[in-house]
Structure 1
């Protein structure tokens, strides 16, 4: 998109009209979409009974949304050029609200899957478009503060989602998990229709083969990651087929775009070193953010016996830590080397995971809250500076495509992270249980004395011991997962050496085009 778009969004002094209202509107749309990545998870058991679905079928409610959103995310840049950024944003938000209402009224599993597919297709553009708009309506000097606002919605949404979903399901029913999008979406739409400036359209050919190959890669990979645990991974021909399709699609896509004019994604975008490193790091951040959120609720509910609402309250300080770091980092960007902020955030995140590796079944909520606040602070310090640094040296015309890739890699990282920790958890529980059971025999004096102290009949004693062994085996497995996530976090630190701080030219005075 050309710089000629500036007059459409900015006045003669370069100040964007109604910038605050634009920001509120697009962030409401972003939060609405991000919430839906986790809010429906806790409602699945209730949906299963209402829709008459089997255990392995109800997961398609999540899978259909994730796959549709992942496939449509990379095409956001092309659509925004063809339709206009404003028009695409409004159409996507409106479609998302309509799809949400349809999901709430669904009467069968097939209807729900179709409506969730439509919801994913419409919601895919909301996050990258919101990031692009915030970058466009703010000067380079204000990008740090803008990304702090954007990052707050992206980071806090998944944390609040399970809590809000659990409360809505218990207080009303599972349908309100989708109906809640109506008031949020209507406010967002009203603000965008009234205040979001128009942008010029740019005719840009569509690379059907490139899109098809990238979609094949993303769709097959997401199916592989989401279905793997249910079908026993590589013991199933389905997983081999999905992995083969994913590898083939990626290989064909890379060969197709290399040195080709008019490719679906311009390969010149990958010559920006900061963007490439940021894409790798946001992949890691995605793994840590949602993998941790996937582990903690079942651990708190199944091992420590916390109710759903209490689980949400215990996890809430994580979001508070994120909000605090967002506020602080917005003021520090531009004054402190961005790479130093990211390094501090990674180290705080690693520290929180180290604290989590000390969890036990005898603990109270204090270690969970403390480690959650530390991790929230760390992830906030990583996410905002990384979002800013990724676009600091990038040509403005590449922003829509780059924002799409940024969101795509974050989502794929989340899927990969959840799959890795889930596989490791199930595998380690079996191993830990076998090792613990091996010590429970009449020749172990500690075992015989513990059994004698219980003073119960044999059946009750064995049932209690089995329960304790299972809980201990599971907690050790969770701790092992937290250690693995800590190692992954530390492995991302050396990537900072390859990133460069924007030069004086990148931060030159003057206002960037408001809608480029």
Structure 2
């Protein structure tokens, strides 16, 4: 039976929408920031915790796997216990887990703490999105999603730069301690201003559905995370993870399709064409955005000799482009066909990737900044109208379930994108190296005449130096190939916008009185 809260003493959400927004945005930024902020601190952690490079990677893997498994659970927890209660527990759990990460004295301790971080943090983004949608009237949804989207994008953009600064000026432990004041402020805002949603204490739990989906997601994440390191399907571990993920997913689909009682995945979500199409596009946003973010820093630092600080300075402006485009898209979505804005965003993204595919090793910093700004604007013009249209026709009863699945698809897209692009980068580097090496031999008069003595292939030292340069050039060509592949994928996605309904801005005008407490 549903349990409402007619005697809530919390302030009217309409009068305190700013405080609500601030509270949930702090939670969103805290979670998304932690998905990337620890990356740059890994070498320092490895030395301090006496862990190898392979072992310290579990600091990232444990978080990703735990968050992926827990994300689909958000919808059921919200329906059973209430959105506010789940939100508060998630913020407290994430903040405490962050403190435990910073206090860790061994690899085992920090991996366990990161597992807790992932489990509690998984609910923060989908819950913040659901609260933003429900605390604003339909005509304000686009602007609300613009603000929410900025929080989602700020984390991954600022993470590496902030993490590097904290590690250099303090210690790697402050990468995690920084979450403590943010978490406390977010907890206060949620507790004071957000109302509780209706709950159903009799809501059943599909344990087998949860178990099979969790196994499928967890094994798939492990496969993606360790595949490149273990040479993919030449490794027994990767084969077992692939088989296990496929079998688990098959069982989940069968159980969901034949369920007579409560099902862990609400199949009603699949009846909404806008929602299903939106999942596909958000998957692609995750794939393109995070893959590019993963490719640029090593390209700039390893091949072009950029210091860490300079790398942050030339990649940071892309976030400015995203914010500006989101603010503009928030105002335009109610006046312009949202599909046109999404098409504009994907077109700008394709343009930026085309520009990146024309990088040279001696290009200026401005040549790196502007494609990043254009790509950032593309992401901004996609995110706001896409989120608005995806949920515009979805019944509000399914919103918590929908936002958790929405976030899950973005995360899976980013995992696949990073793994796929890194695999192609490694393989294409080897291919280009072989092709260039065929042309660079001591028997080639043009090579002998055109190279300085330092790169003379006739001497052992010159041959080694020449091989290093060939490797550098081959790696650079492989990066450019990755950018071209992502550009083509972006353009191929555009026709699928026709699957979305044009008029998707008309959800119920009234806001449920029990949405916020």
TM-score (norm 2): 0.95
Aligned positions of 1:495-510 closer than 5 A: 495-502=496-503, 506-507=506-507, 509-510=509-510
SS at match of 1:258: helix
CA–CA distance in structure 2, aligned partners of residues 7 and 507 of structure 1: 27
The answer to whether the 8 A contact 1:156-1:322 is kept is no
Match of 1:466 in 2: 467
What's the offset of the Cα at 1:488? Answer: 1.5
CA contact (8 A) 1:77 1:400 kept: yes
**Retained in 1: the 8 A contact 2:3–2:199?**
no
Which residues of structure 1 form unaligned runs of 5+? none
Q: 2:41 corresponds to which residue?
A: 43
1:238 aligned residue: 237
Query: Does the CA-based 8 Å contact 1:8-1:515 persist in structure 2?
Result: no
Deviation at 1:259, TM superposition (A): 4.9
Instruction: Name 2:81's counterpart in structure 1.
Output: 83
Q: Residues 334-382 of structure 1, C-alpha deviation per residue, up to 9 Å, x if partnerless?
A: 1000111101001110110000000121212112101000000001111
Secondary structure at the counterpart of residue 156 of structure 1: helix
Shift, 1:446, TM fit? 2.3
The corresponding residue for 2:399 is: 399
Q: Give runs of aligned pairs for residues 396-475 of structure 1, distance below 5 A.
A: 396-452=396-452, 458-475=459-476
CA distance in 2, matches of 1:105, 1:211: 32
Query: What do residues 318-340 of structure 1 show as CA deviations (whole Å, max 9, x unaligned)?
Result: 00000110110010011000111
Task: Measure the CA separation in 2 of the matches of 1:508 and 1:455.
Answer: 71
CA–CA distance in 2 between the matches of 1:199 and 1:210? Answer: 25
Secondary structure of the equivalent of 2:199? Answer: coil
Shift of the 105–465 alpha-carbon distance from structure 1 to 2, 3 Å rule, reads: same
Relative to structure 1, is the Cα distance of residues 139 and 7 closer, same or farther in structure 2, using a 3 angstrom cutoff? farther
TM-score (norm 1): 0.95
**Which residue in 1 is equivalent to 2:115?**
117
**Match runs of 1:133-144 below 5 Å:** 133-144=131-142
| In structure 1, C-alpha distance between the alignment counterparts of 2:495 and 2:119, rounded to whole Å | 36
> Post-superposition shift, 1:451?
2.9
Structure 2 partner of 1:214: 213
Q: Distance in 2 between matches of 1:355 and 1:2?
A: 55
Question: Paired residue for 1:68?
Answer: 66
Contact 2:25 2:128 in 1 (8 A): yes
Change (3 A) 1:443 1:43: same
Mapping 1:294-333, distance limit 5 Å: 294-333=294-333
Whether the aligned pair in 2 keeps the contact of 1:64 and 1:116 (CA below 8 Å) is: yes
For residues 502 and 82 of structure 1, the distance between their equivalents in structure 2, rounded to whole angstroms, comes to 33
Preserved contact between residue 146 and residue 329 of structure 2 (Cα < 8 Å): yes
Change over 3 Å in CA distance of 1:473–1:136 after alignment to 2: same
Mapped to 2, the partners of 1:167 and 1:423 lie a distance apart of 30
How far residue 101 of structure 1 moved from its aligned partner, in angstroms, is 0.7
CA distance in 1, matches of 2:463, 2:395: 67
Paired position in structure 2 for 1:33: 31
Does the C-alpha gap of structure 1 residues 2 and 356 become closer, same or farther in structure 2, counting only changes over 3 Å? farther
Show CA shifts across 1:471-505 (max 9, x none): 1111000000111111121222122111002367x
Structure 2 Cα separation of the partners of residues 133 and 70 of structure 1:
21
Give the match for residue 343 of structure 2: 343
Q: Which residue of 2 aligns with 1:93?
A: 91
What's the secondary structure of 2:325's corresponding residue?
helix
Structure 2 residue aligned with 1:57: 55
The answer (yes or no) to whether the contact 2:10–2:192 under 8 Å persists in 1 is no
Q: Residue 61 of structure 1 contacts residue 116 of structure 1 at CA under 8 Å; is this kept in 2?
A: yes
- Matched-pair contact (CA < 8 Å) for 2:345–2:379: yes
Q: Verify the 8 A CA contact 1:9 1:514 in the aligned structure 2.
A: no
CA distance in 2, matches of 1:95, 1:452: 60
Give runs of aligned pairs for residues 176-255 of structure 1, distance below 5 A: 176-203=174-201, 204-255=203-254
| Residue 396 (structure 1) shift | 0.4
In structure 2, relative to structure 1, the CA distance for the partners of 1:495 and 1:512 (3 Å cut) is: farther
Listed one character per residue, the Cα deviations across residues 160-197 of structure 1 (whole Å, up to 9, x for unaligned) are 11111111111112111111111211111121122122
SS of 1:441 mapped into structure 2:
coil
Give 1:80 deviation, angstroms. 1.0
Structure 1 residue 145: deviation in Å?
Answer: 0.7
Range moving further from structure 2, 189-198 or 344-353: 189-198
Q: In structure 1, what is the Cα distance between the partners aligned to 2:446 and 2:25?
A: 58
Q: Aligned partners of 1:233, 1:9: CA distance in 2, in Å?
A: 56
**SS of structure 2 residue aligned to 1:81:** helix
Deviation at 1:2, TM superposition (A): 7.4
* Offset, 1:436: 1.0
For residues 218-277 of structure 1, the C-alpha deviation after alignment (integer angstroms, 9 at most, x for no partner) is 011001101111211101111111011111111111111115341111211110000000
In structure 2, what is the equivalent of residue 20 of structure 1?
18
The structural deviation recorded for 1:461 is 2.9
From the superposition, tell whether residues 340 and 8 of structure 1 become closer, same or farther in structure 2 (CA, over 3 Å). farther
Aligned to 1:162: 160
Label 1:56 to 1:288 Cα distance change in 2 as closer, same or farther (>3 A).
same
SS of residue paired to 1:492: helix
Q: CA deviation at 1:54?
A: 1.2
Are the equivalent residues in 2 in contact too, given 1:141–1:507 (CA < 8 A)?
Answer: no
Query: 2 CA distance for matches of 1:503 and 1:348?
Result: 23
- The Cα RMSD (Å) is 2.0
Stretches of structure 2 lacking an aligned partner (at least 5 in a row): none
